[in-house]
Amino acid sequence: MTKRTVHAQAGKKDLLDIATLSRAEVERLLTSAALLKEKQRCGIPHPLLSGKTLGLLFQKPSTRTRVSFEAGMNQLGGHALVLPMGEIQLSRGESVADTARVLSCYLDAIVIRTYDHAIVEEWAREATMPVINGLTDLSHPCQALSDLLTIREKKGRLKGIKIAYIGDGNNVANSLIEAAAKMGMVIALGCPAAYQLEQHIVDRARVEAKKTGAMIESSQDPHIAVKDADVIYTDVWISMGREREHARRLKVLAPYQVNRRLLHCAKPDAIVMHCLPAHRGEEISAEVLDGPQSVIIDQAENRLHMQKAILTNLLGNRSRTKR
């Protein structure tokens, strides 16, 4: 079972996946991120989290997630503390429960980037501070939220916009389908049979789609998926932890490369998105990734502004309680 965003027992909020956010909560995050972005670009200080400390515990490598949270927390007037796995007692067998309870005495929130989604759920159960999912094998909510910000900036709206997700049905795809369903969008999945999205994620998204008017389409033909798309989205074929499957994945996914030919099937003004890091020549051609329809740098920049919105939402009105 996926844990609720609002932790009833501790009266705190966590961000573990998109599905547990309400549409109104997503809208507030988008509005907040846009305002914080404008302040940043105008050079207006916004120390909204002065005196707060954020922990960053990453069991997987990270560039955008780590740096955007660290820089974002600093820009908000707080402090970000990186906790290398090899330098804390978790690496020597201390339990998550003990670690979470102790760190809750020191920190105001923590970002967890790990493999098994059950680990962030355990952290959220045990910690009395907010827990943010910085990526698991199941989902990447912070990425999907910032992607909504980018799409709204480029297309002026979310409702009715069609996203075509092409390639490996991975954690990013899981969060994107949840986000699209939440916001009344159209999402078309073009994934091979061997690499489909998690079925329970799709089923849950379809239930949400009935409430919002969203549409979820699925095809094993990428050309069908991208027809009339406003957004074409792809991600690496070999995610962290899947390196042993490299040769097989390259063979199966080769027809799913986002290239100039595939781009012609979408709307003429379609934008191309990739959460990075990218492998040019594999999931996407260099001419498309670096071409005029690519918005990957804007997309990456928006990670910073959305992380700040997430942090202010979770910590802005929260004072540390006695433990």
Say what the pLDDT of residue 8 is: 38
Give DSSP secondary structure letters for 108-135: SEEEEE-S-HHHHHHHHHH-SS-EEEEE
CA separation for the pair 176, 104 (Å, rounded): 30
- Is 223 a residue of the active site? no
> What token pair was written down for 162?
């069609």
Q: What is the pTM of this model?
A: 0.94
Q: Per CATH, which fold does 143-297 belong to?
A: Rossmann fold (3.40.50)
Q: Which residue of the set 7, 140, 204, 274 is catalytic? A: 140
Decide: residue 195, CB within 10 A, 0-12 exposed, 13-18 middle, 19+ buried: middle
- Is 117 a residue of the active site? no
CATH of domain 6-139+302-315: 3.40.50.1370
> What token pair was written down for 154?
């480029």
Say what the pLDDT of residue 245 is: 86
Say what the pLDDT of residue 322 is: 39
Please write the tens of the pLDDT for every residue from 285-322: 999 999 999 999 999 999 999 999 999 999 986 655 43
Please name which of 7, 68, 3 lies closest in space to residue 311, comparing C-alpha atoms.
68
Please name which of 124, 288, 229 lies closest in space to residue 134, comparing C-alpha atoms.
124
Low-confidence spans in the chain with pLDDT less than 50: 1-10, 321-323
CA separation for the pair 192, 220 (Å, rounded): 5
Q: Which residue of the set 275, 299, 305, 307 is catalytic? A: 275
Domain with CATH 3.40.50.1370 in the chain: 6-139+302-315, 143-297
Pairing of strands 162-166, 231-234: parallel
Beta bridge partners of 232: 164, 272
Only one residue has tokens 């670096």, namely 290
Please write the tens of the pLDDT for every residue from 1-58: 344 443 434 468 999 999 999 999 999 999 999 999 999 999 999 999 999 999 999 9
Provide CB contacts within 8 A for 80, sequence distance 6+. Answer: 53, 54, 55, 56, 69, 70, 73, 74
Q: Which residue of the set 7, 113, 204, 249 is catalytic? A: 113
- Is 318 a residue of the active site? no
CA separation for the pair 15, 146 (Å, rounded): 14
Say what the pLDDT of residue 194 is: 95
> What token pair was written down for 295?
């918005």
Number of helices (H), then strands (E), belonging to the chain: the values are 12, 11
- Is 113 a residue of the active site? yes
Q: Which residue of the set 108, 137, 235, 274 is catalytic? A: 235
E strand residue ranges, 103-223? 109-113, 131-135, 162-166, 186-190, 215-219
